[in-house]
Structure 1
Amino acid sequence: MADRSLILTLAKVLIAAAWVDGEVTQDEINSAKDLLFHLPHTAANAPGMRLTSREWSILEMYVESPVDAAERARLVSELQTALRTPEDKALVLDMLEEVVRADGAVSPEETAGLAEIKESIDQADTGLMGKLSRLFGGAVERRSEAAQGPNRELFYDDFVQNRVFYSVNQRLQAEGKSLSLDDGDLRKYSLAGALMAKVAQTDRTVTDAEFEAMAEALQERWDVARETAVFITEVAVSQISATQDMYRMQREFASLTSETERERFIEVLFLVAAADDQVSFEETEEIRLLANGLNLSHSQFIAAKLAAAGQSAP
């Protein structure tokens, strides 16, 4: 009988397997979700058991960006340790095959990657000796070795609370680059980028003018280098979505900025909204809600709106 630990670990490996050729298709994502949705019953788990919202968020971390060979090896090692019965092993192998073939085309990279993963699963000992090995230290040793591999779950809080900061760091790590900013400043600028992007995409489209206004705001208001400002803006625009927890982002941004800084930031939001020559009612309402979430009064919101338009408050 598969347990919750096996289900979650298997889900991660399914996603890692889909990433073997460097991309994940929507068919592969849908296949993995469909299999996972039916897995609890297929694996004879407690009726009605489902992954929690936190567990789905963890899986989303693996869907969002590529899983390299080192991280895939860590996940496969964890899956080996989670296997308890021959039935578990058979289930895992069947599901791996189904997800990789979900888009109807299996690349050479996927074929090689699938063979590598299946070989590792085949080697997992689900018999009595394997259970004794886990009991007396074998599994502990394997988990210790696996822990040395990359583990994006260590940054789960950033993924949930400051998605742009998380994604900036993921891209920097993948590209072997770094920024000349300390952690606190990068967190703040990433949050600013996310909030600006939220306003810019109110009408579901971020124009070139709005993108440029966002990058210029980071440059002029916080003295961020041009290349860094553009990079943060690119990530912010690519990551903003209705599913992000704006309340958490506003709360963290408020904790990292002064009241005066937040007042001036509301001006920036109006300048971003006006970059395409008009500020819509929907954009104004979005900014009003953000101002409220940043602990600013309605009068401060109005003053910022007028300042952005080159007017003075009465």
Structure 2
Amino acid sequence: MTPVPSGEGDPLDEGAQPPLDGFRQELLARVRAVDLFVLCAVPAVLVAVFALPEATRRSLAFAYTDPTPWTAFTAHYVHLGTGHLAGNLVGYGLLASVGYALAVLSGQRRFFLTALATFLLAFPFVLSALNLAVPRNAVGFGFSGINMALAGLLPLLLWAYARDRFFPAVSSRSLPAVFFLLAGWITLLALPVSTDDLGLAGFGVAATGLVTGVAYALRTGNWLRRPVRERIRTVTSQEGYGDLLVIGAVLLVGYPVVGFPTDPTGSGSVVNLYVHLLGFCLAFIATFILLVSDVIDE
């Protein structure tokens, strides 16, 4: 892992930025075949499980009234409908590919793969166990909780990439501000905003998260005091590299719209907003601790 800079720094020399061909060449040079195999193995497993008979897939789902360690794990790889599977495959494709590109170009490949392995192997047990805190006669299944964990990892990969490529002065102390801002955004999406008690509570939680995030960013983000036009020019001057940063930022803000729909009810099923929130928050907190503690050395 690249050491975290603690002081001030200057942006990269804009006059010496590599062209788009340089971006493509560097990305291809850093990508490893074994990494692509691991990334592609996940959708292959999801499709293979979906090819099983429906009765078998239902037996692999997590029944809250009859939980087992086996189904606690397998449920996160089970889908009963084509639309549900397709949505999770698209979400995984976007989050994993953009996250991997950010990681390899910022020297965080091992960090990304360690986080991915944790999400795939350990998070199913954790998310299923925490789901039992809300008793109900239902079954849980689907990969979306792990997708939301990848979304929780994305802010840290964006930070590492932005620090490495554009703003060396940006400190990891700014990351909690991003978490609070995203938590407020998610609350606005997930909870209704109205004049009744639940609506007011949702608005209050969202406002608290957004205000806390802005205040924290202003307090810790000295690099933000640079003129906005200068920051934009620093990003846009690096063709390819700047595009990836923008794509990652749009995905970071846009994916919660999919993960936390205004109406979570569907045809015979309900989107588990609770497990989505758990996946996002646990992933951010765990990987933040891992990143700033400098446990993984690239």
Higher relative contact order (CA 8 A, sep 6+): 2
Does TM-score exceed 0.5, indicating one fold?
A: no
**TM-score when normalising by structure 1:** 0.28
TM-score, reference length from structure 2: 0.29
